[in-house]
Each structure stands twice: as C-alpha cells, then as structure tokens.
C-alpha cells in the first residue's frame, strides 16, 4: 500500500470520527434549545483543532509503523516507503478536485442561508459540514482510485 494511500486512510478516518463526535455533541441540543442559544463555538473550534492534531499524530504513527514493518520484512527498505510517483500525484489531484466541488456547493449553500439571515448556528454548521463532507468525499475518491484505478 503506497504511503499516500495510508495517509489518505488516516485523514478519512480522523475526519469522519471527529465530525461524527462534533455533530453528536451539538445536534441533540436542537431538541430542547433554540438554535440561536446553542453554544456550538467551542465544540466547533475543538473539532477543527482535533482534526488537525489527530491527522498529524496518526500520520506520524502510521509512518513509524510502516518504516518498522518494512525494515522487519526487508532490512534496508525503510528508506523507500515514502516515494511517490506520477500515479500518486494524479490520484491526489483528482480527489482534491472532487473535494473542491463538494466544498464549493457547501459554500454556496452557506452563502444562500447567510443572505436569508438565518442564525449563525446554521451558517457555521453548514460550512463545517461542507468542509467535512468535501474532505471525506475527496478521500473516498482517492481510495477508490488506488483500489480500482481511474
């Protein structure tokens, strides 16, 4: 499994779990609290910070595990695990482009609800959801390309 594919797995899993945790904390409050009164700011900032930090830590842990595993299987091969080729670049580009399209649709949705003057809660959560979904969709496109080709 190429190094780029492994890092994509880390970012997809982290992005999904952090977004799931965020929405599991914030959305149940809608049942008994008006959207304007929900304190979503701190959980949202923590979700963004957690996504960044967990992706970094997960990638470092994965790189160490890959290097150790490669060295155990074939001594002297650990220095070759991070090489990327043209295929990795094309797969990354394609996944990023699809993710940008999804994020753009989400940004337009946030712009529309902003013009409709809805509560900040809905605007912020629409933006966060669009970025989370864009990241997940882009990652899935990359993983699918690694497994099935273009």
Every domain of the chain and the residues it spans: 3-148
pLDDT at 20: 97
* pLDDT of res. 77: 59
Quote the CA–CA distance of 24 and 124 in Å, as a whole number.
Answer: 16
113-142 burial, b for 16+ CB within 10 Å, e for fewer?
beeeeeeebbbebbbbbbbbbbbbbbbbbb
Q: What is the mean pLDDT of each run of 10 residues along the chain (150 residues)?
A: 89 97 95 92 97 96 85 65 78 95 97 96 96 97 89
pLDDT for 18 equals 98
This prediction's pTM: 0.86
For residue 68, what pLDDT is reported?
Answer: 82
């Amino acid at each position: 499994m190429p190094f780029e594919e492994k890092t994509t797995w880390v970012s997809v899993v982290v992005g999904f779990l952090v977004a799931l945790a965020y929405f599991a904390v914030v959305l149940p409050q809608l049942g008994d609290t008006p959207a304007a009164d929900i304190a979503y700011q701190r959980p949202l900032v923590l979700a963004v910070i957690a996504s960044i930090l967990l992706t970094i830590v997960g990638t470092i842990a994965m790189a160490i595990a890959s290097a150790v595993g490669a060295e155990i299987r074939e001594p002297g091969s650990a220095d070759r695990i991070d090489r990327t080729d043209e295929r990795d670049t094309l797969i990354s580009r394609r996944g990023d482009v699809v993710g940008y399209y999804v994020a753009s649709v989400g940004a337009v949705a946030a712009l529309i609800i902003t013009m409709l003057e809805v509560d900040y809660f809905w605007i912020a959560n629409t933006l966060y959801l669009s970025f989370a979904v864009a990241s997940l969709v882009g990652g899935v496109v990359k993983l699918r390309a690694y497994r099935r080709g273009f």
